[in-house]
Chain A
């Protein structure tokens, strides 16, 4: 595993043309395909969000109509959730890093892996087509709640079908990763010698397999209901709209953990590398991932406390919601304990990882608040909810995505970015983020309902602060990605191990050769052993 391996990197071998990328079954190239396509969708989602904020800057509206505003928040949600946050870390970094981190040459089913990307792109294209055909972009919100989603004249059918196809991509990736982790670990890599990012991917993949089919069938029912009128969600025919909400959240709440678990996994890789000491509580973190996956599957109805469920059901789901906070908190304590008395080498990935912990704590704790029944009734469907889930999804998963990107960028590209550029981007990102979403939480407590086109003058100050924050946030994003883009083409060449990491991906050259390893490594110890390692 010497770093002067003559083998050509995956970026140039076997060929370099666009076609060779689009037909490649190399997990690293597929990871990059996902990265490029996903960041494109992310940019679209950001622009839609900025327009929404711009609408709320004033209380008079010339910018867009109310119908367009409904379409904006729907498409913003669909694009961000289904095309960026859910597939985000597993599809990009899972694909790229999982085989290398467990000492394998590829995933278990490489062709299926490429097929998954095409399902992903196919679903995305269908969603885009849905925006411009039929009755125009859907206006139901990303949740597609019945009965409105059955009645609206907008192009819900096609958009829902797009989400259905995206689900396939997610399920197939899950199947691929579980099989890979079971079958492809290098000799000597027992389960408890496996790094924690693969552990989190393992838990995530199980949720993808167990929850996504429920969404698939629910979306099929919506389509059939719209096309044929089968009546399952239609009270006039004996159906029940509440059933839709249950089925939808049986998937969509666990999906929240599909989003956050790999993010937590990436953070767990970053912290030991820059604290130069083993992760604190390895097994606690591994099992808390599994616990989150398990308990997280049983809390879906906390989205429905005001929908008219029985008091008993409300209490059960409220209690379960509180319980799921425990394994999340275990992780936070383990992360901070890892940093404690570490020999901290402060680098951009660590800065973003610590920002993740900070923002995730706010998002997580406000989540526990919402789990309390009395508070939930007060803040249900207000901006508080919007603020909360942006803290978790963007402050959590988004910042973890950035941190992971910064951490593994040198590995993926073989080049180093300008650290000053990244630190400079952090300031507007952090300030803008908190201005935007903290204002939203305050607005929500004051009573501002979500998804409203207009607002009362009493909410105006909060909206202005949030909108100005969104500009800072956009500026930060621009600085962040321009820095990385420049580095991809012109950055300084880097070594195989610029951060002094010890997991297997740092033992191969940057960028890795096509076959990852000249020789499959034999693992003799746990993943985060720093002392004995010096330069292996």
Chain B
């Protein structure tokens, strides 16, 4: 093996970086899976209550948000294609579009949450206490799971902003785009988790 290359401090291993990213995503999926297990168990205990509680949610907003996230995943993939072709500006624009779509998702989410809270539906609320126990735990899980997902959207926006800055600096280019790729992987994860959340809550009724 080439000792000169080994002596070089900055050894680069794109496959290794991606492996690390995939392992990290495994931990993320398992983090959510703890909640999915809780959801499944609670739903098996309270099938009727979950059905009723789900009817309180606005499925249209949920579906609109699904389209937004799916589109953002598309722009993310296209930005990777663009940088692989060396089109840096196009890649930057597409990452920026992804971030904007993420913001739109969060805006919808905020609107939704405030509406529900205005209707007195939030953990420990007096109104919620009048509902059957199964519906209370439904909304407890709803806020926990969509909230945790929302945090991941915010984290994803942070990651993508960083990717955007690195693109602007030119340290991500057509030969070295593993950072963009990993950022994209993370973003798809956020997307995939939402795809499971949609039927569990919005289509539960």
Contacts and interface: CB of A to CB of B under 8 A. Distances in A.
A210 B148 contact: no
A166 to B, nearest CB: 14
Task: Please tell me the size bucket of the interface on A.
Answer: 35 or more
> Which interface residue of A176, A232, A247, A515 has the most chain B CB atoms within 10 A?
A232
Contacts of A247: 34, 37-38
A215 to B, nearest CB: 8
B129 to A, nearest CB: 8
Interface in A208-243: 209-210, 212-214, 216-218, 220-221, 224, 228-232, 235-240, 243
A243 B41 contact: yes
A403 interface: no
Given A171-B27, A213-B34, A232-B137, A179 B42 contact: no
A380 interface: no
6 contacts: A176-B20, A179-B19, A209-B30, A216-B31, A229-B124, A232-B141
Contact of A238 (B24, B27, B37, B136): B136
B19 A232 contact: no
Contacts of B37: 247
A210 B124 contact: no
Contacts of B141: 230, 232
B23 A231 contact: no
A239 B27 contact: no
Nearest to A517: B6
Given A176-B20, A209-B23, A247-B37, A105 B6 contact: yes
A519 interface: yes
Interface string A171-183: 1001110110011
A178 B19 CA distance: 9
Contacts of B113: none
Given A179-B20, A247-B34, A237 B27 contact: no
A230 B138 CA distance: 9
Contact of B136 (A112, A176, A221, A237): A237
Contacts of B11: 105
Contacts of B135: 238
Interface residues of B, number: 42
A230 B144 contact: yes
A468 interface: no
The 10 closest A-B pairs by CB, nearest first: A238-B133, A230-B140, A217-B34, A238-B137, A229-B124, A213-B30, A213-B31, A183-B16, A237-B136, A231-B140
Contacts of A250: 34
A187 interface: yes
A232 B13 contact: no
A52 B103 CA distance: 54
Interface of A is mostly: helix
B112 interface: no
B107 interface: no
Contacts of A179: 16, 19-20, 23
Given A105-B6, A238-B45, A238-B133, A212 B23 contact: no
B143 interface: yes
Interface in B114-142: 123-124, 132-138, 140-141
Given A179-B16, A520-B3, A239 B30 contact: no
B35 interface: yes
Nearest to B3: A519
B137 A239 contact: yes
B46 interface: yes
Given A224-B123, A228-B123, 17 more contacts: A105-B11, A183-B15, A210-B30, A213-B31, A214-B31, A220-B148, A221-B34, A228-B143, A230-B123, A230-B140, A232-B137, A238-B49, A238-B133, A238-B135, A239-B42, A243-B41, A520-B6
Contacts of A520: 1, 3, 6
Contacts of B28: 213
Contacts of B123: 224, 228-231
A109 interface: yes
Interface string B3-17: 100110001010110
A218 B37 CA distance: 11
Contacts of B35: 217
Interface in B122-171: 123-124, 132-138, 140-141, 143-144, 148
Contact of B133 (A108, A236, A243, A515): A236
> Which interface residue of B19, B46, B49, B144 has the most chain A CB atoms within 10 A?
B144
Contacts of B23: 174-175, 178-179, 209
B42 A238 contact: yes
Contacts of A238: 42, 45-46, 49, 132-138
Nearest to B135: A238
B13 to A, nearest CB: 6
Contacts of A178: 19, 23
B16 A217 contact: no
Interface in A364-406: none
Contacts of A213: 27-28, 30-31, 33-34
Nearest to A187: B1
B137 A237 contact: yes
A182 B1 contact: no
Contacts of A175: 20, 23-24, 27
Interface string A105-137: 100110010000000000000000000000000
A108 B124 contact: no
B100 interface: no
> Which interface residue of A187, A229, A230, A519 has the most chain B CB atoms within 10 A?
A230
